Amino acid sequence: MTLEWRNASKAYGKKRAVNDFSLEVPKGELLVLVGPSGCGKTTSLRMINRLVDPSSGKILVDGRDVSEIPVTELRRHIGYVIQQVGLFPHMNVAENIGAVPRLLKWNKVKIQARVRELLDLVGLPADDYSEAWPAHLSGGEAQRVGVARALAADPPILLMDEPFGAVDPLTREVLQREFLRIRSTLKKTVVFVTHDLDEAIRLGDCIAVMNGGRLVAAAAPGELLLNANPFIRDFTGEDRALRRLARLSVGDTIGQTTPIAPGGYGDSGTPTGLIRTDATLKEALSLMLEAGESSLNAVSPSGRHMGKLTMENLLENAAGIGVS
Partner 1 sequence: MRLIERERIDVVPLTAVLLASVSFFGPFAALKENRVVDGQIIRGFELLGGGLGAGVLILGALTLVVALSGGGGKTRNLVYSFAGVACLWITAVLLVRAGALLGQAGEAPRVSPAIGFWGLPGASYVLIDHSRRQAPRWRSLMLTVCALVPVCLIFSDGRGAAISVFQEWLERQDRFLDELIVHVRLFVFAILGATVFGLPLGIIASKNKRIERLVIAFVDVVQTIPSMALFGLLMAPLAALSRAFPLLRSLGLRGIGAAPALIALTLYALLPIARNAIVGIASVPLPALEAGRGMGMSRRQLFWRIKWPLALPYILTGLKTASVQAVGNAAVAALIGAGGLGIMIFQGLGQAAPDLILLGVLPLILMAVLVNRGWELVIRRAVSPGLLGEVL
Ligand X SMILES: Nc1ncnc2c1ncn2[C@@H]1O[C@H](COP(=O)(O)OP(=O)(O)O)[C@@H](O)[C@H]1O
Question: How large is the angle between the packed helices 311-319 and 281-291, nearest 10 degrees?
Answer: 140
Name which of 52 and 254 has its Cβ closer to Mg ion.
52
Count CB-CB contacts under 10 A for residue 178: 16
Query: At closest approach, how far in Å is the CB of 162 from Mg ion?
Result: 6
The residues with which 260 forms a beta bridge, in sequence order, are none
Residue whose C-alpha is closest to residue 52's, from 83, 21, 90, 86: 21
DSSP for residue 135: G
Residue type, 255: G
Distance CA 111, CA 104 (A): 10
With CB under 5 to 8 Å by kind, the binding choice for 184 among partner 1, ligand X, Mg ion, none is none
Q: Is 10 helix (H, G, I), strand (E, B) or coil?
A: strand
Query: At closest approach, how far in Å is the CB of 283 from Mg ion?
Result: 32
With CB under 5 to 8 Å by kind, the binding choice for 313 among partner 1, Mg ion, ligand X, none is none
Q: Which of 98, 134, 221, 271 binds partner 1 (CB under 8 A)?
A: 134
Give the binding range for partner 1 (CB under 8 A) out of 54-62, 132-140, 168-176, 247-255: 132-140
Q: Which of 42, 194, 211, 313 binds Mg ion (CB under 5 A)?
A: 42
With CB under 5 to 8 Å by kind, the binding choice for 101 among ligand X, Mg ion, partner 1, none is none
Distance CA 319, CA 164 (A): 30
Count CB-CB contacts under 10 A for residue 106: 17
Give the binding range for partner 1 (CB under 8 A) out of 33-41, 78-86, 210-218, 226-234: 78-86
Does position 225 bind partner 1 by CB under 8 A? Answer: no
Q: Which residues contact 270 (CB under 8 A, 6 or more apart)?
A: none
Q: Which residues contact 23 (CB under 8 A, 6 or more apart)?
A: 4, 5, 31, 208, 215, 218
With CB under 5 to 8 Å by kind, the binding choice for 220 among Mg ion, partner 1, ligand X, none is none
Q: Which of 99, 121, 126, 220 binds partner 1 (CB under 8 A)?
A: 99
Distance CA 47, CA 51 (A): 6
Strand 295-299's sheet: what is its strand order?
274-276, 295-299, 305-310
Count CB-CB contacts under 10 A for residue 47: 24
Does position 212 bind partner 1 by CB under 8 A? Answer: no
Q: Site size for partner 1, by CB under 8 A?
A: 29
Q: Which of 114, 149, 188, 243 binds partner 1 (CB under 8 A)?
A: 149
Residue type, 208: A
Name which of 18 and 279 has its Cβ closer to ligand X.
18
Does position 311 bind partner 1 by CB under 8 A? Answer: no
Does position 138 bind partner 1 by CB under 8 A? Answer: no
Name which of 141 and 209 has its Cβ closer to partner 1.
141
Interaction site with ligand X (CB under 6 A): 12, 17, 37-43
Does position 84 bind partner 1 by CB under 8 A? Answer: yes
Residue whose C-alpha is closest to residue 115's, from 100, 105, 133, 104: 100
With CB under 5 to 8 Å by kind, the binding choice for 37 among ligand X, Mg ion, partner 1, none is ligand X
Which chain residues interact with Mg ion by CB under 5 A?
A: 42
Binding site for partner 1 (CB under 8 A): 49, 51, 71-77, 80, 82, 84-92, 99-100, 103, 133-135, 146, 149-150
